[in-house]
A and B are shown apart, each in its own frame.
Chain A
């Protein structure tokens, strides 16, 4: 059996030595089951905070959730005194890592806070106090602790706008914040000692990092070249065994799910619909046919009633355009459409093209509501949606075909330059 790190002595929390100069001073939260509303965890989490000792001062990297402050301060006190603290680094400002910050600043008023440039305005909203000093840093900025140096890497949106990673050069150790973290609480702490946390690692990525795949890839460009002996994330196991594997796994997870058959220069358009009496379905088919007339666009048609939500989310992630067909029922678009739309927060939709259509009886507001939602989700909606009263006529079916053609052309950037008067856009 492996030796457990000694987390407490006579009821007092103790720091865990990671190297001569680096200690873990975080906290265990084994009973947590739900995190940030959107995540579950079957065995709690840890809030990992770290202390780095240089010849000219001590740095604290991140703190803990407020109600775990005691453990944090006891662990800190077990290896350093407050007047030694020169630097406080916050890799992002979420309360699970900044909960003990106000108290830490009271106890170590001489310490200087280092945050990313994007964190400035958030810090105020978080601490509710205006006048205190901090240094905002970007990639390449460094702070010296004498014989130890911290270097900052700006890794925005992983998963907050202000996220950064901090690299301890002399020990080739990366304090990665939530990046490479997971909700998994195990007193054995190290990835080569704890229970099987692979699921938690993947699950954390899927819910927290996946929406920002493009940013993950950019961050990996910065982090991959680093020599790494340890990755020390802000939650879950400390990655001292084969840390590069986790970096590599992030790269894999941030690449496309399936090898797609779509060729270079080809675009994909997905049409989703749902229909009670077949009217919205007729429209869907006409749009499908219209779009297929345009070369270099691969069009697919899906009935929302035929699948769970998750596979559609995967499909949408890889598509260039998405179109939704919904009837208006009781003054709204229907629930399967909203269910899918409310599941898209885990993927990046920016730069995708959206469109909406549907049959209605007397008010027809469903189409407009979904259009607004698509814009809210940061799709661009270049062609006004089509609403058709009850059963579509031949003429109306023709307008659906054109709608499909235009959307397909839009994807290819083929539409003629247009001149529009704002007044003509309802």
Chain B
């Protein structure tokens, strides 16, 4: 199965995970500062800055874009409970 490499910059941890895994599932396992509320793309608690490998994540849905906008998230931000890793290298950190 395809694997992705995710680097959590706030805790200096690198994880390899199968394609399709949501960022939040990885984050909670390794204890990064990216935390969650609803886990359903609604509350914006899990907003995460993607500093590298934006295209190695699934595209944000219309709904995710809306929540990001509503929370005035900056560019390069994603909801960790929605973004799934596709492959390659992805660097993230809590906002």
Residues of A within 8 A of B (CB): 117-118, 120-121, 161, 350-351, 353, 375, 378-383, 410, 415-422, 425
Contacts and interface: CB of A to CB of B under 8 A. Distances in A.
A382 B15 contact: no
Given A118-B71, A121-B42, A417-B13, 13 more contacts: A121-B70, A350-B35, A375-B28, A375-B35, A378-B37, A380-B31, A380-B35, A382-B11, A415-B11, A417-B12, A419-B15, A421-B15, A422-B21
B93 to A, nearest CB: 12
Interface string B18-62: 100100001011111101110000110100000000000000000
B63 to A, nearest CB: 10
A380 B21 contact: no
Interface string B62-84: 00001100111000000000000
B14 A418 contact: yes
Contact of B29 (A120, A378, A422): A422
B31 A382 contact: yes
25 contacts: A118-B71, A121-B42, A121-B66, A121-B67, A350-B33, A351-B33, A353-B31, A378-B45, A379-B35, A380-B11, A380-B33, A382-B30, A383-B31, A410-B31, A418-B12, A418-B13, A419-B15, A420-B13, A420-B15, A421-B16, A422-B15, A422-B16, A422-B26, A422-B29, A425-B29
Contacts of A410: 11, 31
B17 interface: yes
Contacts of A416: 12
Contacts, number: 65
4 smallest CB-CB distances across A and B, nearest first, come from: A382-B31, A422-B17, A417-B12, A378-B35
Nearest to A138: B72
Interface centre among B32, B37, B70 (most CB of A within 10 A): B70
B14 to A, nearest CB: 5
B61 to A, nearest CB: 15
Contacts of B15: 419-422
A118 B42 CA distance: 12
A117 B13 contact: no
Contacts of B32: 380, 382
Contact of A425 (B30, B36, B70): B30
Interface centre among A120, A380, A417 (most CB of B within 10 A): A380
Interface centre among A350, A383, A420 (most CB of B within 10 A): A420
Given A415-B12, A417-B12, A422 B70 contact: no
Nearest to A379: B35
A210 to B, nearest CB: 18
Contacts of B36: 375, 378
Given A382-B30, A415-B12, A117 B17 contact: no
Contacts of B14: 417-420
Contacts of A418: 12-14
Contacts of B13: 417-420
Contacts of B72: 117
Contacts of B29: 422, 425
Given A375-B28, A417-B14, A120 B70 contact: yes
A121 B18 CA distance: 34
A413 to B, nearest CB: 8
A117 B31 contact: no
